[in-house]
Homo-oligomer: A and B are copies of this chain.
Amino acid sequence: MQANPATPADTRFRRLREKGSRDFGLACRIIDAARMGHVGFTLARQPYVMPMALARDDSRLLLHGSVASRLMKNLKAGTLCCVTVTHLDGMVLARSAFNSSMHYRSVMVFGSARAITEPAEKRRCLDVLTEHLLPGRLADLRPPTRKELNATLLLSLPLETFTAKVSDGPPDDPRQDLEAGIWAGVIPFHTVPGEPQPAPDLDPAIPLPDYLREAGFR
């Protein structure tokens, strides 16, 4: 009989690796639940990680920013990048610091972005972004002007090379730690909208739209 060679560290690390998944549906669900991601790329050997709003259009990510941004220009030039979307869903309190961890859902997408420049397609994809960030909002807004479209750089990144990871479940303590009399379990985290704050220049006669009320924005 072979002894189990796994130390707690081995076990935990193996578990995390096993959770790495190429499941396209899982990756889509994680991305669709997010409004932003962290975009990493290298410029003159220095890595940069920037928070950016994002949305998914079928099997690609959409990112946008100012045409004046040096970092956006660098992405547009096709440099290799990594876009990571993470939801921190809770803390896993084990009986030891070593076995404590986090609940999270995360996707890392690898590839090269390219600009979407064809006017009708650019317009459609910006609408996808707007509608993703706040469903229902798009119908309220005036169309973008040509000047605004020209000032906006829209990028797409194929959702082809990616790793999705989900860490969930209760703490996993070795038997000898169970008798310590310490509370153990999971503290979930939720992101919730607060009370809407009307703009100072908002006409008080304009009510809160239904799509905000219905989405739980009170």
Tell me how far the C-beta of A20 lies from the nearest C-beta in chain B, rounded to whole angstroms.
12
**Is residue A73 within 8 Å, beta carbon to beta carbon, of the partner chain?**
no
**Is residue A156 within 8 Å, beta carbon to beta carbon, of the partner chain?**
no
Q: Are B194 and A187 in contact (CB under 8 A)?
A: yes
Chain B residues within an 8 Å CB radius of A192: 189-192
Complex-state Cα separation, A42 to B39, whole angstroms: 13
Q: Which residues of A contact B (CB under 8 A)?
A: 7-10, 12-13, 35-36, 38-42, 45-51, 53, 66-69, 80-84, 86, 88, 90-91, 93, 95-98, 100, 102, 104, 106, 108, 110, 126-127, 129-130, 133-134, 137-138, 140-142, 144-145, 147-148, 151-152, 170-171, 173, 177-178, 180-203, 206-209, 212, 217
Given A108-B49, A151-B9: A185 and B196 within 8 A (CB)? Answer: yes
Complex-state Cα separation, A99 to B96, whole angstroms: 48
Complex-state Cα separation, A177 to B127, whole angstroms: 18
Which residue on chain B has the smallest CB distance to residue A179?
B203
Q: Are A95 and B8 in contact (CB under 8 A)?
A: no
Complex-state Cα separation, A81 to B42, whole angstroms: 10
Q: Are A48 and B40 in contact (CB under 8 A)?
A: yes
Chain B residues within an 8 Å CB radius of A110: 46
- Residue of B46, B102, B180, B187 near A193 (CB, 8 A) is B187
Chain B residues within an 8 Å CB radius of A82: 40, 46-49
Tell me how far the C-beta of A199 lies from the nearest C-beta in chain B, rounded to whole angstroms.
4
Q: Are A13 and B68 in contact (CB under 8 A)?
A: yes
